Amino acid sequence: MKYVGTILLTLLAIVIILIAFAAIKAVKIKAKPSTKEPAINPTKEEADSYAKKLSDMIKVPTISLRGNTDLSQFYILHEVMKNNFPLVFSKLECTEIDGNLLFRWQGKNPGRNGILLMGHQDVVTADEPNWDRDPFSGEISGGNIHGRGSMDCKSTVFSEFQAVEELLSEGFVPECDVYLATAVDEEISGGGAPKLVEYLKSKGVHLDVAMDEGGAILKGALPTMNGWCAAIGVLEKGYIDLKVIAKGKGGHSSTPKSNTPLARLSKFVADVEKDKPFKAEISGPVYAMLDNAAPLLGFPLRMVLGNMWLFKGLLTKVLPMVSPMCNAFVKTTFCCTMAEGSQTPNVIPSEAYIVCNLRPSPHQNVEQSLAVLRKYADKYDLEFEVIHARDASACVDYKGEEFNFVKKCLNECYPDAGVIPYLMTGGTDCRHYEEVADNCIRFCPIKMSNEQLAAMHAANESIGVDEVAHCVKFYKYYIQHHK
C-alpha cells in the first residue's frame, strides 16, 4: 500500500506540473492589442461610390437554378459591370464562355506564374417570406447595402474588379499576370468554373494562387473571442449525394406488414443519427485552426487550445458535442434531405428512397465514409446509389509563402484582427482551380457580423458600406505588393 500511495502522489504531482505548465503558456501566448495604424483608409466619398456600384449589381437577379439555361440576367449584369469597370473591360484581355468571364491583366514578367482573384455572379433564390425589403432592391440604408448577393458573393466580385479598375486608372502594372474570374453557376455546382479552368489549361497558364470566397473577418467567431479574426479557408471537406433505396412488396395501407420500405429507411436514418458512427479526429488543418485561435480567446479556452499536446484527446471527444459546427470540423457529417415513397396516401410503395448528403472529412474519405454507412444499410437490406461524390480538396500549405503573404497583408490592413487557417465545411468554385494553381485560398477580406453571416442564403442578406470599401483597398494592397 505504501508503494501505491507513492505512485498516486507522483502521478498527482505530474498532473499538477502539467496543468501549471499549460496555464503559464496560456498567459504567455495571449494576443496583445495592436497599436498599428491600418495601411488602408478609404474615404467616405469612396465608400459611398462603391456602395452605389454594388447596389446596381445586386439589382440584377442573377439566380441560378438547375435545368435553367437562360443567361439573359447575367448578360444584363455584364452591361452593369462594363459601366462600373470601363477600364477592366477595355484594357484587359477578356474571355467569355457561356456567361462565365475571365480577364487577363498582363504583368511585367509574363513568364512568371500569375495570381487569380475570383467570385461568382449567381445568387440563390430569395423566396423567404420574411424579407424586410425587396431582396433585389439593392437598398443602401443603416450603413449597409441590402439584397440577395450583397454578401454571397457580389461584394467579392465587385471589390476585386474595383481594385483592378483603380490600379489601371493609376497606371499601375503588376509584377506578374493578374486574372479575374467569375462564373454563373457556383450555387448549383455547375460547369462554369471548370470551363474557365479548361481554357487556362489550354493556354498553359499556371498560377501561384487562386483566391475565392470562403472565410471572412468575423467578430466572436469562437466562444470567449471578443475581437476580430480573419479565417482563411485552406481546405474544403468532401461531398456526397447518396440515394438509399428500399425495395419490398407493395400493398394496401389498410393491411400493412411490418418493415415496409419506408419503415426500413426510417430505421436506417434513426440508427445513423443515434450512433453518430463517423470517426472524430482533429486533422492537421483543424489542429492549426485551433492552435492559432488560442491566443485570441479567454483564459480557460486559451489554456486548452494553446496546449493541444496535452488536451487533444479530450478535445477530440468533446468537440462533436459542443455544436453542429464543431462536430463538422472533426467528423464526416450525415443528413437526410429528400425522400419519396408512394404517390398515393393509402398505398404501400414497393420501392422507396431517401437522399442523404454527406460531407466527408479529410481523415475519412468518400470510400471510408460510405463503408461506415453500408453496415447500417446491410442491416435493413438497403441499396446504395452514389449520385455524386468527391473527396476533400487539397490543403493549402498554411505555413507556406502564399498563405503567409495573405497573413502579412491582413496584419497591415486589418491590424486589429487575428489570422487563422480555417477548414471549410461547405464548397466553392476554388477547388476546380487546383489543376492550375499551387494554392487555392478561400477568403474574402470583409468584416461581417454573426447576424450578417447567418443571413447567407436566408432573408435580409446585407453587407456593410465601410466594410466593402476596406475590402476594395485590401485587394489593391494585395495586388500592389505581390512580388
In a domain, 404, yes or no: yes
In a domain, 5, yes or no: no
Same domain? For 402 and 357 the reply is no
Q: What value does the mean pLDDT take over residues 139-163?
A: 97
Residues 6 or more apart whose CB falls under 8 angstroms from that of 159 comprise: 444, 446, 468, 471, 472, 474, 475
- Checking DSSP bridges between strand 207-219 and strand 114-120, what pairing results, if any? parallel
Q: Cell match 477568403: residue?
A: 443
In a domain, 19, yes or no: no
Nearest to 83 by CA among 158, 195, 13: 158
pLDDT of residue 451: 86
pLDDT of residue 449: 87
pLDDT of residue 1: 56
Residue pLDDT, tens place only, 354-392 = 999 999 999 999 999 999 999 999 999 999 999 999 999
pLDDT of residue 5: 64
Q: Name which of 15-19, 235-239, 346-350, 431-435 the model is least confident about.
A: 15-19
In a domain, 283, yes or no: yes
Burial class of residue 321 (count of CB atoms within 10 Å of its CB; 0-12, 13-18, 19+):
exposed
- The pLDDT of residue 13 is above 80: no
Same domain? For 358 and 399 the reply is no
pLDDT of residue 120: 97
Domain enclosing residue 350, as ranges: 239-390
Domain of 380: which CATH number?
A: 3.30.70.360
In a domain, 117, yes or no: yes
The cell numbers describing 27, all together, are: 498567459
Same domain? For 148 and 56 the reply is yes
In a domain, 227, yes or no: no
Instruction: Tally the domains of the chain.
Output: 2
Residues 6 or more apart whose CB falls under 8 angstroms from that of 335 comprise: 356, 357, 358
Q: What is the residue-wise DSSP string for 188-222?
A: GT-SHHHHHHHHHHHTT--EEEEEEEEEEEEES-S
**How many residues make up the chain in this entry?**
483
pLDDT of residue 252: 87
- The pLDDT of residue 452 is above 80: yes
Give me the percent of the chain exceeding a pLDDT of 70. Answer: 98
Query: What is the spatial distance between Cα 54 and Cα 138, in angstroms, rounded to a whole number?
Result: 8
Residue pLDDT, tens place only, 242-265 = 999 999 988 889 998 889 999 999
In a domain, 32, yes or no: no
Query: What is the spatial distance between Cα 181 and Cα 166, in angstroms, rounded to a whole number?
Result: 18
Residue pLDDT, tens place only, 271-286 = 999 999 999 999 999 9
Same domain? For 402 and 447 the reply is yes
Same domain? For 325 and 211 the reply is no
Same domain? For 287 and 360 the reply is yes
pLDDT of residue 360: 98
- Checking DSSP bridges between strand 239-247 and strand 178-183, what pairing results, if any? unpaired
Domain of 173: which CATH number?
A: 3.40.630.10
| Residue 166, phi then psi, degrees to nearest 5 | -70, -40
Contact 93, 155 (CB under 8 A): no
Same domain? For 207 and 285 the reply is no
The mean pLDDT of the chain is 94
Q: Name which of 50-54, 64-68, 152-156, 291-295 the model is least confident about.
A: 64-68
51: left (phi over 0), alpha (psi -120 to 50) or beta: alpha
Same domain? For 182 and 49 the reply is yes
In a domain, 232, yes or no: no
Q: What value does the mean pLDDT take over residues 58-72?
A: 95
Residue pLDDT, tens place only, 109-144 = 988 999 999 999 999 999 988 999 999 999 999 999
- Checking DSSP bridges between strand 437-448 and strand 207-219, what pairing results, if any? parallel
Same domain? For 50 and 90 the reply is yes
Same domain? For 56 and 196 the reply is yes
Q: Cell match 453518430: residue?
A: 276
Same domain? For 205 and 251 the reply is no
Same domain? For 269 and 355 the reply is yes
- The pLDDT of residue 9 is above 70: no
